[in-house]
Amino acid sequence: FNEDDLKELQNKFFDTLINTVRFFILYSNLSDFDHRNDKFTKIKDRPVIDRWIISKINSLKKEYLDLMDDYDITKASRILFDFTNDELSNWYIRRNRKRLRNPENEKDRLSGYHTLHYVIVELLKMISPVSPFLTEKLYRTLTEPDESIHLSYIENPDEDYIDKNLEDEMLIAQNIVYLVRSIRVKNNLKVRQPLRQILVPVLNEKDKERILKVKDIILEEVNVKELNLLEGNSDIIVKKAKPNFKSIGPKFGKNVKAVQKIISELNDSQISEIERNKFIITEGVKIEIGDIEIFTENIEGWILETHENLTVAVDVKLDEELIEEGIVREFINRVQNFRRNNDFNVSDKVNVYFKTDDTISSILKKNLKYIKAETLSNKIETSNGHEFDFSKTDINGISCDIYIQKLK
């Protein structure tokens, strides 16, 4: 028994699950959604992100039932934990928060709410054997008060809903996003600061097509303006290899030094060939992908990150347009934090007053229409008086105090 593991399970799994249900209830209630009566949107007609999460929940169910049939409850619980955190919360809900709060149209509204309701209910059914009381409470909240989750069926996965190609496309998008986020964290680049472009080398036509299909999702998620694909060699991304001695030591024995020299001298084209084919034969020696560690070196204005056979280069140079947009996004974040900290409802209309220097003030005034839409504000204006109890904050180290007035 480990108390720390138990706390992690509570925080990362059950709290995430509860917050997911709360999120759905909050926004579906705002639009009077009723899963029993509202017109059902066919799966094939739903947006890509909805079809993806429906495919994932059915793939999950398939793996879960096989594990439970083998009485492997530990692994079955682990895949439920991973899905809840990685796929449902950190990807689907993160990407759809704005959409579910303010759907573009009736069809989009129904698609989003039906999808999330379906996924949560199916997930609760699978969790119920290991958490009977919590799932019972959440299930009754989402369905009928007098229906028990323990009298419902975990139906077989619907193979028609499983789209492995779509899952692979989204996995590439997730991997690129995680690499860009890693670059931001390591180099103190704020998530709200837009960047100009990312470059991704592609090894084959299939990967190129997959990335292009999810290009818009990637750009929106990483807050970058452009994504360009590189085919062939590039002056920006130059790959190098070093030996993986754990692999080549036992394999080549006394010849390991000669193999070490061969690997160190591999050029960019040869390394790309190894990534594509998983091996290369050079100087009469077969070098496999596991025999090398691939790395890249940064050049001025670009930062690179590599994981397995995926490399991303991020242009970190900031121009005036990008800096201004970053300031606007930071201001919106401060307003949303004020709303949340003061228990405003998500639908509350407000007036926003702020005090800051002339440069930031000028930038905010140029972008009032966008800021109003993002913050549900009726008006946004400067105030240098003492009539309000301003909340002290800053944007990029410059004082920017705000006060938000809820409208009646």
Q: Give 59-64's long-range contacts (Cβ < 8 A, gap of 24+).
A: 59/157, 59/162, 59/164, 59/167, 60/123, 60/126, 61/122, 61/126, 61/154, 61/156, 61/157, 62/157, 62/162, 64/126
- With a cut of 60, say whether residue 1 has pLDDT above it: no
Predicted structure pTM score: 0.81
Query: Quick one: pLDDT at residue 402?
Result: 92
Query: Quick one: pLDDT at residue 360?
Result: 95
Confidence of residue 2 (pLDDT cuts 50, 70, 90): low
Bigger pLDDT: 324 or 230? 324
How many other C-beta atoms are found inside a 10 Å radius of the C-beta of residue 372?
A: 15
Query: Quick one: pLDDT at residue 118?
Result: 95
| Per-residue buried b or exposed e for 198-230, using 16+ beta carbons within 10 Å of the residue's own CB | bbbbbbeeebeebbebbbebbbebbbbeebeee
Please state, in angstroms and rounded to a whole number, the distance separating the CA atoms of residues 158 and 334: 44
Mean pLDDT, residues 45-61 taken together: 96
For the domain 3-162, what is the CATH superfamily, name and number? Isoleucyl-tRNA Synthetase; Domain 1 (1.10.730.10)
Q: Which CATH class is domain 239-296?
A: alpha beta
CB 73 within 8 A of CB 130: yes
Query: Quick one: pLDDT at residue 315?
Result: 94
For tokens 């103190």, name the residue. Answer: 188
Strand pairing category for 394-395 and 377-382: unpaired
Range with the poorest average pLDDT among 89-93, 106-110, 120-124, 258-262: 106-110
- With a cut of 90, say whether residue 61 has pLDDT above it: yes
Please state, in angstroms and rounded to a whole number, the distance separating the CA atoms of residues 290 and 127: 38
User: Range(s) for CATH 1.10.730.10 in the chain?
Assistant: 3-162
- Return the axis-axis angle of helices 106-127 and 15-30, rounded to nearest 10°: 150
Q: Residue 182: which of 3, 321, 284, 303 has the closest Cα?
A: 303
Q: What is the pLDDT of residues 329-371, one digit of tens each?
A: 999 999 999 998 888 988 889 999 999 999 999 999 999 999 9
- With a cut of 70, say whether residue 145 has pLDDT above it: yes
CB 318 within 8 A of CB 187: no
- With a cut of 70, say whether residue 326 has pLDDT above it: yes
Backbone angles phi, psi at 126, to 5 degrees: -75, -30
Q: What is the pLDDT of residues 147-203, one digit of tens each?
A: 899 999 899 999 999 999 999 999 999 999 999 999 999 999 999 999 999 999 887
Query: Quick one: pLDDT at residue 384?
Result: 72
Backbone angles phi, psi at 377, to 5 degrees: -100, 140
Please state, in angstroms and rounded to a whole number, the distance separating the CA atoms of residues 285 and 252: 10
Query: Quick one: pLDDT at residue 276?
Result: 83
Query: Quick one: pLDDT at residue 385?
Result: 65
Query: Quick one: pLDDT at residue 355?
Result: 92
Fold held by 166-235+298-318: hypothetical protein PF0899 fold (3.30.2320)
User: Range(s) for CATH 3.30.2320 in the chain?
Assistant: 166-235+298-318, 321-406
Query: Quick one: pLDDT at residue 252?
Result: 92
Query: Quick one: pLDDT at residue 377?
Result: 93
Fold held by 321-406: hypothetical protein PF0899 fold (3.30.2320)
Q: What percent of the chain lies above the pLDDT cut of 90?
A: 67
- With a cut of 80, say whether residue 114 has pLDDT above it: yes
Query: Quick one: pLDDT at residue 10?
Result: 72
User: Range(s) for CATH 3.30.720 in the chain?
Assistant: 239-296
Mean pLDDT, residues 23-30 taken together: 88
Please state, in angstroms and rounded to a whole number, the distance separating the CA atoms of residues 161 and 60: 12
Query: Quick one: pLDDT at residue 107?
Result: 82
